[in-house]
Amino acid sequence: MHLAPDIRESIVAAVHLEESSNLFRNHLIRQLPYLQKKLILPEEDPVSALILFTTRYIESVPGSISLVSAVSKQLDFYRYVAPFLHMAEDFFLQPPEDVWMAHGLEALLDEAFLAHRLLEEVNDYHIMNLGHPLLPVDMTEANIIVYHLLGEALASRLESLVQYASSQLLEKTGVWKKAQARPGAAHVLGFDGIHDNPECPIRIRATPGL
């Protein structure tokens, strides 16, 4: 599956917009009292840490889609996960009409959440049916963090979209039994999710129980 250049271009444009406008930074500053109740944030400059996390979360979407595409082709069940992959790509190019649109990173965060949650559903079914993950990185906590960044109202609507889509696309559970696991397949592409650079680590965690 070849990702549309528009996806990566939209990510680059959003990052540049944030660098010049601070739109998302100002939004996070307003939301910080709420986020400090929901997330474990670094004491020093928590807003910059959240922007770094958000940027890496969004930038990891193309790699995640490409990985699932390549591995599913290796395991001969690409045609069953292809609808998920196309839907994840479409969320970037044509977001659902009922999703409120902001600008820059804030807008792409909605779309990245939809894409990552769809891929998480595919990954969960892969684990359930084959006994090991399709993706080499567990995005569950990252998705929970983004859920809080988006806010309860919007995140709940997006989650409903994911659940509806996954319930329609994952009915053919028998196909997973036909996939034959190949050790190390997920690592061939060198994808490791949200890159945690040792020189610039991300120290954000979801608060347990929230």
Q: Which tokens sit at 17?
A: 């917009």
Q: What pTM, to 2 d.p., does this model score?
A: 0.80
Structure tokens at 160: 């409903």
- Residues paired with residue 39 on neighbouring β-strands, in sequence order: 206
- What is the per-residue pLDDT across 109-168, written as a single tens digit (0 to 9) for each? 988 998 899 888 888 877 777 777 777 778 889 999 999 999 988 889 889 888 887 776
Q: Are 145 and 117 in contact (CB under 8 A)?
A: no
Banded pLDDT at 204 (limits 50, 70, 90) = low
In angstroms, rounded to a whole number, what is the distance separating the alpha carbons of residues 162 and 156? Answer: 10
SS3 assignment, position 42: coil
Question: Which helix (H) or strand (E) segment is 205 a member of?
Answer: strand 205-206
**Residues 14, 57: Cα–Cα separation, whole Å:** 13
